[in-house]
Structures are given as structure tokens and as C-alpha cells.
Chains A and B, each alone.
Chain A
């Protein structure tokens, strides 16, 4: 029988550790106290942009929003243009932040100082399974972000299936240290919700440099899990620092090289698992690249081909969703990934459709024609950058770059940006990829104005 409501956190006892702050454990009672206090203080608006950089505060903000019936908005980036679109989508949105200065053009609610534990044995809030707790946005193919509502029941199913697969639903309280932000789907699921819903503990820090990761791990008790991405894992491995013991390393956003995965397992003495999913579906599969190239679907999730595209459905995936990668379906819930669908760009885990980037380029006043180009990424350890060609006789490179910076995440800024007098379009107006590549590689660069 399906319950109408499911608990906010699954920790059985009031003294169970829900989070680590500065190396100190936060109990379920302390967490729920902070949630109740913040929920009582939040402004009336029904939509929240939670920009807290401290993951504990983010989680209190998310929980207080859920308890107060507010929806957390998670756009794919925070450029001025995206924030304007978020405001159009939800005029009552406000920004919850713990940064000293909020430079977003939104009403800002600074994370307040919350008074400490008063009562004990607080009841765990029960959240209706049909409640939309978050809306995650993808960049869309037209330049307008597409909303993907996340209901509590589906999130719980998805995250608990993930935790069960990863061995993080065992009753042992794992400390989850994340190098990825909680403001995107992977970080939300794997560093926050997997703590709440798997009886684990999240860590407040979001370490960046290798030395920060080591310190973050050392500040919490074993068993420890590092939730990260290829960019940070390659950096950590290259730094050759001694690591505290790990029970698991988790990676997502882009596939890891198999040889690297084997090296990590050997030198860090831990299993390294990758998770696969997308904003639309959440997490749907895992693999252990040191042992197998094949991905293993979570229970209940199935793949099928519809109109030439592979769709995921079943399990926590409520409606059949097309996947943005080229996929070869194998037997027994296994599949192989063969790179992205041509229009999709993935740089360090940030996705954008190439056609929408091109459209954004053309919206810049003074740009007469232009196109982005994604080089082949033949070396998984190097972050590949986009290039772009523009026809913009009156503009400088700085003008074009600054205009793009207003519209897209910096990882998508072209490097190089090539100025040309015209693009090699064919008679139908199409721009063959090979012609564009030739243009960028020969670098027919005109001095910008």
C-alpha cells in the first residue's frame, strides 16, 4: 500500500547524526529545530532560490521550504538572463542566501542566526508524496529554460533506490562529503537527499582544492563517502595527497576513463561507482568502471526505443523520458553509453544544447551570424572547451564575450572566439560541422573592431 506522506528524514533516533558542521555532528533534533525556526521566518513567497553555499544551511533552507509548502527552484545557471527568466516564471520568488553580498536581481533573504535547541524529541515532518518540492530547469533547445517539477514521493523512491544500490541504506551512518553543489540535480540527490533518506549524514563543506577535500574527509568519522565529479577526482589524484579511509567514491556528470577508475580503486583502496541520470529523470543507473563498462539500471527502470530515441520509464521515472545520450541497450537491465546526442554539449557536467547556444549568440546586438563548435573530446582527462565563429563587424572579442557572459554559464564561453567575414553555409543555409571545424582550426582571425 502506498502511503500518502513520507518522512522528511529517515533517521530513527532523535540523536542520530543528520549532518556534520565544522567536524561536529548535528543530531536529528538539532536539525529539525533549525528547520522549524527557519520555516517560521521565511518570507511569504511560494518559490525559493536557495543559494546557500554552506550545504547544511542549504539543507535547512530546503527542508524549511518543504515544510512551509514552498517550491525550491533550481535553474541550470545563475546568469542575469537566467535570473530574469526565473522571475518571469515565478514572480514571488525570493533568494535565500548565506553569502555576505547577493548580486542576483531578486529580493534577498539572508540566512538568519537560529536560536539553539529548545524542546527535544521533535516529530519528523511527514511530507505529502504528491507535493512538488522542487522545480529543476534544463536549458531547453530554444533558449527558454524548461521546468521539471519534482514531487516528494518520486524523489524519495529515486534516492532510496540509489542509496540501496550504493550500499548506503544499510543502517551505517555514512558521512557524505560533496565537491558538487546541492543546487543541481546530482548534488541535490546524492549529497543532501541521500543523507536525509538513507539515514546518512551530509557535510556542510563543499571542498574545492585537493587539500580541502582531504581536510573535509579528515574532519568527519568513518565510514566516509566522497561524492564528486571527474574534474575534482582527476585533480585529487594528480595532487597525490594521502587520503583518510574511504568506503566509496561516487562520480557523475561525465564518464571516467576505465584506467583512471582502476588506478583510483587501487591507490585510494575504495570502490569507485559512477551514477547516470539527467535533470529530467534523476538518477537511473550505476556502474563500477574499474570492473565493467556497462551501466546497470536501478530496479524498475526500463529503456525502450521510441521514434529512434532511447527513453527511460518505470520505477521512479513517472513518464517516458528521452535520454540525451547515444545508448546501446544490453540484456538484464544493462546498457552502454556511446557519447552524447550531437546537439548536446556537456562541459564539466553542465549541459547545454548547441542549437540554443547558437540562438543566444545571434541575440547579441551586432552579431550578424555565428555558430558554436564542440571539438571531439578524445582525452577524458582534459576538459574540452567550446569554440565559436562570429560575423560581427562592429564588435570586439570582449564585447561578444561579455554579452555571452550575461546569458550563459562561463564554462560555455568560447575559447577561441574566431571573427570571420562570413560563415561557410551551404546552399540550404546549413553549416556543415567539417567546414566549421576547418574554419576554427585554420583560425582565419580578423582583428576585432
Chain B
């Protein structure tokens, strides 16, 4: 895949890599950045994040990109399903 390729909703490889780095750094994940592919599941099998991690990521994301995540949107679970879906959501809603 080419660098900076744009995915369906406008996130880029660069943004995905940035978000993966944020996750590794803030959650002390014991994985290499290469292991977090765009379609790896964040919950459960895959990265195995839980709700405490998701809250932490939400805070970091809101500070870095200037958007507030909300649980009441029905697609909250969908947003956090993969690195790609989270990055797409950030790309579509970021103010910074």
C-alpha cells in the first residue's frame, strides 16, 4: 500500500499510524506498531482493549484532534471496532 493513501472516509495511512502510536504510547501496549494493521480489532480478540482503554484513548483523541466522542451515537461501538474506523471517524470530525 502506498503511504498517505486515503481510505473510504478520508483517513490516511499517516493518520492511522499516528493513532496507532497514540494507543501504544498511552496504553503501554506490548506490541510493535507494525502489528497494528488498519483492520485489527481493537476490542476483544485482536488488541484486546477494554472500556478503561477506550476512555483513555477518547481523552487523548479529544485533546489531539479537538473532537468529543459520545457513547449515545449508535455507532460508538463501530467507531472503536478497528484502527481504520477510528481513524476515519477522527478524519471526518477533527477540528484540529
- Please list the residues of chain A having a beta carbon within 8 angstroms of any beta carbon in chain B: 205, 207-212, 215, 231-232, 235, 238-239, 241, 348, 383, 385, 398, 401-402, 405, 410-411, 413, 415-416
**A and B contact pairs by CB, cutoff 8 A, 26 listed:** A208-B71, A209-B58, A209-B69, A209-B70, A211-B68, A211-B69, A212-B71, A215-B70, A215-B72, A235-B55, A235-B56, A235-B58, A235-B59, A239-B59, A241-B68, A348-B52, A385-B28, A401-B48, A402-B45, A405-B45, A410-B50, A411-B50, A413-B48, A415-B28, A415-B29, A415-B30
Task: Point out the residues of chain A lying under 8 angstroms from B48, CB to CB.
Answer: 401, 405, 410, 413
What's the minimum C-beta distance from A321 to chain B, rounded to whole angstroms? Answer: 29
Further 10 A-B residue pairs, CB within 8 A, beyond A209-B70, A401-B48:
A207-B71, A208-B51, A208-B55, A209-B55, A211-B68, A212-B71, A235-B59, A239-B68, A405-B44, A415-B28
Please state if A231 and B62 are interface contacts (CB–CB under 8 Å).
Answer: no
What's the minimum C-beta distance from B23 to chain A, rounded to whole angstroms? Answer: 13
With A405-B44, A416-B30: A209-B52 Cβ-Cβ less than 8 Å: no
Please state if A232 and B55 are interface contacts (CB–CB under 8 Å).
Answer: yes
With A239-B62, A410-B50: A209-B44 Cβ-Cβ less than 8 Å: no
Task: Point out the residues of chain B lying under 8 angstroms from A231, CB to CB.
Answer: 52, 55
What's the minimum C-beta distance from A212 to chain B, rounded to whole angstroms? Answer: 5
Determine which of A209, A405, A410, A411 lies in contact with B68 in the assembled complex, contact meaning CB atoms within 8 Å.
Answer: A209
Task: Point out the residues of chain A lying under 8 angstroms from B50, CB to CB.
Answer: 410-411, 413
Task: Point out the residues of chain B lying under 8 angstroms from A415, CB to CB.
Answer: 28-30
What's the minimum C-beta distance from A424 to chain B, rounded to whole angstroms? Answer: 21
A398 to B48, CA, bound (A): 10
Task: Point out the residues of chain B lying under 8 angstroms from A416, CB to CB.
Answer: 30
Please state if B52 and A411 are interface contacts (CB–CB under 8 Å).
Answer: yes
A314 to B44, CA, bound (A): 43
A241 to B71, CA, bound (A): 16
Name the residue on B nearest A214 (C-beta): B68
Please state if B52 and A212 are interface contacts (CB–CB under 8 Å).
Answer: no
8 closest cross-chain pairs (CB), A and B:
A211-B68, A208-B71, A410-B50, A416-B30, A209-B69, A212-B71, A235-B55, A383-B52
B27-53 CB mask vs A (1 if < 8 Å, else 0) is 011100000000000001100101110
Task: Point out the residues of chain A lying under 8 angstroms from B71, CB to CB.
Answer: 207-209, 212
What's the minimum C-beta distance from B13 to chain A, rounded to whole angstroms? Answer: 25
